[in-house]
Amino acid sequence: MAVAKMLFSDVETFLDSHPELFEDYLNRKGSYGMVEKWLKNHQASKSPVAASPAEPREEKSAALKDSWASKCDGLQRRASQKELRKTFARSKAINVNRTYDEHVNSRAQEPLTSMRRRALLRKASSLPPTTAHILSALLESRVNIPQYPSTAVDFKYYLKEHNEREFFLELVKDISNDLDLTSLSYKILVFVCIMVDADRCSLFLVEGTGNKKTLVSKFFDVHAGTTVLPSMNSDEVQVPWGKGIIGYVAEHGETVNIPDAYQDRRFSDEIDKLTGYKTKSLLCMPIRNSDGEIIGVAQAINKNSSGELFSEDDEKVLQMYLPFCGIAISNAQLFAASRKEYDRSRALLEVVNDLFEEQTDLEKIVRKIMHRAQTLLKCERCSVQLLEDIESPVVKFTKSFELLSPKCSADTESSFKDSMEKSSYSDWLINNSIAELVASTGLPVNISDAYQDPRFDAEADQFSDFHIRSVLCVPIWNSNHQIIGVAQVLNRLDGKPFDDADQRLFENVPILQAFVIFCGLGINNTIMYDQVKKSWAKQSVALDVLSYHATCSKTEVDKFKAANIPLVCELGIDKLSFDDFSLDVDAMVTAVLRMFMELGIVPKFKIEYETLCRWLLTVRKNYRMVLYHNWRHAFNVCQCMFAMLTTAGFQETLTEVEILALIVGCVCHDLDHRGTNNAFQAKTGSALALLYGTSATLEHHHFNHAVMILQSEGHNIFSNLSSTEYSDLMQLLKQSILATDLTLYFENRNTFFELVSNGEYNWNVKAHRDMCRSMMMTACDLGAVTKPWEISRKVAELVTSEFFEQGDRERSELKLTPSAIFDRNRKDELPGLQLEWIDGICAPLYETLVKLNPKLQPMVDMIRANRAKWEELNNKRQHGHSISAPASPCSGDSPESSGCLVSKTGSSPCCSETPPASVS
C-alpha cells in the first residue's frame, strides 16, 4: 500500500491543532529516555519561574503555566532516581557546613550560595590583606547557623490534642535544629510547659568541674505564652551543687515529683523570694548527655489545671523528651565552645596582625595587646610590666602599662582616657607584689578571692579607689624562654573569678601558641628594634667619625690638583720591568693620575679632575700600614696592568669600560687588607668571616670598601656615566677584584689554557673575555715574579715577613702550629717554595698569555731568569750552605712606602697553607 508523501510541517501543524492527541500518544508511546532527553535540552526548572517586578503579570502567569512545577499544568513529572540523588547531594552540600553566622538574624532563610561566598571574598579583598581579615572572611563564607522558624505554640497545642506522635516529633525536630544555647534553652522550657501543662518552667545547666560545680540559669519562670526571649541583662540565678531540690536532683540524678514544695525539707524558697512567685507542686528531672553525665536540670512548677498535680504520665513524657534535650544542649555547648575558640583565635590573629603592623613603638604595641586581652577576658583592668634587666636575679620593673575598662566607670570617656595615662600608687603597690612573685618564679598566679589569699595585700587595697576581687597574673616569655615581664588582669566584668580557660589563654595552648607568647614576641621584637635603632645611631656616628678621618683633606686635594703630572716616559710606568720601589708615596699618586689621563679615561667618562684626586688620595689612605698588602702593592699592580694595556697592546682589544674597570680594580683590589689571609679569618671567626662567609672573604670586603668610598660625598668618579654604563662598570669592577682570589683562578685556568692552546679563544665570546680579564688581574697581582732579580727577591722577602707575623698569631692566639710558609722557624725553605710557586702557578699563566699576546714575552723571560736564581739558592741550601735571611722586611723602607707583588694573601706558597708542590 502506497503511503502518501507527508511533509513534516504538516504533521507539526496537525499536532499543534490536536494537543490532546499528542498528549495521549506521548503517554502511551513515550519512553523514559525521551523524557530525560527533553529535560536535558530544556533544562526544566524545579521551582516556579519568578518574574521580575518589571515583567507584566500576564508573562508571569504564562511562565508559571509552562513550568513543570506548576500544578495547573496537570502534568506532574516524576523525579527520576538520578535527579533524586542530585537533589539530595545538593541539599547536603548546602547544609553540611552551616553552623554559625554572626549576621544570621538579618538574613534568616538566606541560602549559602556560591554568589554570596564570592561576595564575601570580594569583601575580604577590599580590606587590608591581613591574616585576621582573610581568615574571618573565609570562615564567614562557610559558617552559618541553621535557622528554622519555630512552629507556633497554638499549632503545637493542636497537635498535642489530635496527634501525639506528630506533636512529639515536632518538638524534637524544633530543638534539634537550634545550636544557639540561649534560644535552645528558651524553646526547651516552653515545650516542657506545653508537654506537662505546667504554669512555669526553669532550666539549670551545670557549670564548672570537679568540686566547683554549680547550677546556673538565666531563664526561669518561663511559660508557654512567652513570645520573646527573656532579657539577657537580668542577673542569672545560681544554685550551689547539692543545695535545694534542684541541687539534689543534679547530685543524685533522681526525679523529684513533689505535690507541695513547702512541705519538703529540701525545698529552698530563695528563688520564690527573688521572683515573687509561689511554688506549689513541682516536677524536677535531670538532663543527661549521650554519655549519661548530668548536664542540667529541668523544673516544671504548678499545673495549669487548678488542684491537679504532676502525674506519672508527665514523668514518662519528660523521661522520653529530656534525652533529646540533653543531646541538643550538648551540641549547643560544643558549638558555643567552638565559637568561643573561634573568637579567641580571631582575636589572636588580630594580635599577630598588630605585631606586624607596629614594631617600632613599645607603648603602642603594649596598649594594643592590653586592649585585645581586655576584650578577650572581659576584665576591668589589664596591666603589663616589663623587667629592667632580664639577666638579673633581682626582680625590678622598669616600665608599667595599665588599661582600665570603660564599663567599670560611670564616666566612660574620661575614665578610659585617664586610665591610659596614669594609675594610683596603691594600685601599683598591690599589683607589684604579685607581679614580682610571678616574675621570680615563672609560675602563673590565679587568685579567685583576693581577700582570702595571703599573698594579697588587702590592707593596701582598702585605701585604693579600685578594689580588687580576683587576679590572674602570668609571666611573659621571649623566644629564648626568658621572662621579660608579666601580664596581669583584674576583676572579670561578670563578677566571676578567672577560670582555667582564661588562664590557658595566657599559657601554652595550641591556639597559635597562646596570647602571652604573642605578647612576648611583640614586646621582645619592639625592644630589639629599639636596640637596633640605638646601635644604628651609634654606628652612624662612628662611621661619620671614621669617614672624616679616613678621607683625605682638602689641602691634599688642592696640592695634587695644582701639581704638574710627569709624563709616562719620565715615570717609566709603561715598562714591564718597572722598578716597584722607584717612586715615593706622593709620586705613586701622580703616576696613577698620569695613567688615567694617558688611557683617555678622564675625558671619555667626564671624570672631574678634583673628584679623581680626592678619590685616589682617599683610596691611598684606606690601605693599612702592613708589610706587603699596602698602597705600594696596589700601585704596582695598577702599573703592571697599565704596561699590559699600553706596551703589550691590550688597550686596542678591550673596551673603554673594561679598561676603566681593570684600572680601578687594580687600585682598589686590596683595600683595608689586614695582613692575614682568608683561612685566618675563618679560623678566628672574625667579623669579616661572619659578614662575608668563608668564600673570598677578603675580596668581597675589598669590593664593598671600594663601593663605600665611591658613595662618599665628592668621591664618585663614575657620577657622569649613564645608568647602563654605570651598571656594567660596577659588575666588571666586582669581577675584577674577586678575580684576585686564587681559588677563582684555579677554577678557570684549565679552561682558559685549553682555549688558548687549541686556538679556540675568541674575543667576541663574552665568557672568553671575562676569563681573559680575570687572568690579566691575576698576572698583575703576581707581577713581581716577572721583575728583575733584586726587585723580585726583595718582594718575596716582604711577603714572607708578613706571613711570619700571621704564623706567630696562629701559634699564640689559636695555639696552632703554622704551616711551613707561615713558620719563621723554617725560613730557610723559602727558595724551594719559590720554585714550586713559579713552576706550579706563575709560569703556566704567563706562558699562556704570551700565546695570546706575544708582546708579553719579556715577562716569561724574566720569570725563567729568576727561577734560575732561586734554583741556585735552593741547591746551596741542600748542600749545606746557609742562606742569609733578609736584613729587614722592608729593606729600609717604611711599611707605607714598601710593598710586593708576588702573590695575593691566601695564595700558595706565599698565601696558602699548602706548599706549592701540591699545586699542579
List active site positions.
Answer: 629
- The DSSP bridge partners found for residue 404 are 381
Fill in the amino acid letter for 251: E
| 3-state percent helix, strand, coil for the chain, nearest multiple of 5 | 60, 10, 35
Query: CA-CA distance, 298 to 300, in Å (whole number)?
Result: 7
The H-assigned helical ranges of 78-180 are 81-95, 114-126, 131-142, 153-162, 164-176
C-beta of residue 184 within 8 angstroms of C-beta of residue 329: yes
Q: Which three cell numbers stand for residue 241?
A: 551543687
Instruction: Please say whether the beta carbons of 424 and 487 come within 8 A.
Output: no
CB 670 within 8 A of CB 623: yes
Angle among Cα 613, 614, 619 to the nearest 5 degrees reads 100
Going by their DSSP bridges, the two strands 397-404 and 445-447 should be labelled as unpaired
What DSSP character marks residue 489?
E
Strand order in the sheet with 379-387: 397-404, 379-387, 483-492, 471-477, 445-447
Q: Which helix (H) or strand (E) holds 218?
A: strand 214-222
Residue 641 contacts residue 786 (beta carbons within 8 Å): no
Reference 626, options 897, 241, 268; nearest CA is: 897
Give the relative orientation of helices 609-621 and 585-598 as an angle to the nearest 10 degrees: 140
Side chain identity, residue 843: A
The C-alpha atoms of residue 31 and residue 15 are separated, in whole angstroms, by 19
- Measured in degrees and rounded to the nearest 5, phi and psi for residue 716 equal -85, 95
Q: Which three cell numbers stand for residue 643?
A: 704596561
- 542 forms beta bridges with none
Yes or no: say if 103 and 88 are a contact pair by the CB < 8 Å rule: no
Residue type, 785: V
Within a 10 A sphere around the Cβ of 109, how many other Cβ atoms?
8
CB contact at 8 A, 675 and 626: yes
Q: Is 176 exposed, middle or buried (0-12, 13-18, 19+ CB in 10 A)?
A: middle
- Determine the Cα–Cα distance for residues 27 and 47; give it in Å rounded to an integer: 23
Question: How many DSSP H helices and E strands does the chain contain?
Answer: 36, 11
Around Cβ 45, how many Cβ atoms within 10 Å? 14
Residue 300 contacts by C-beta under 8 Å, 6 or more apart in sequence? 192, 193, 196, 198, 200, 201, 282, 283, 284, 310, 314, 318
In this structure, what C-alpha cell is assigned to residue 471? 587576679
Q: Residue 685 has which C-alpha cell?
A: 671567626
Instruction: Let me know: does 451 contact 399? Beta carbons within 8 Å.
Output: no
User: What 3-state class would DSSP assign to 294?
Assistant: strand
Q: To which H or E segment does residue 483 belong?
A: strand 483-492
Q: Rg (Cα) of the chain, in Å, rounded?
A: 47
302: phi then psi, degrees, rounded to nearest 5: 60, 115
Question: What is the spatial distance between Cα 904 and Cα 698, in angstroms, rounded to a whole number?
Answer: 10
User: In whole angstroms, what is the distance from residue 838 CA to residue 832 CA?
Assistant: 10
Q: Does residue 144 contact residue 99 with C-beta atoms inside 8 Å?
A: yes
Write out the three cell numbers for 843.
Answer: 709560569
Residue 129: asked if its preceding bond is cis (omega within 30°), the reply is: no
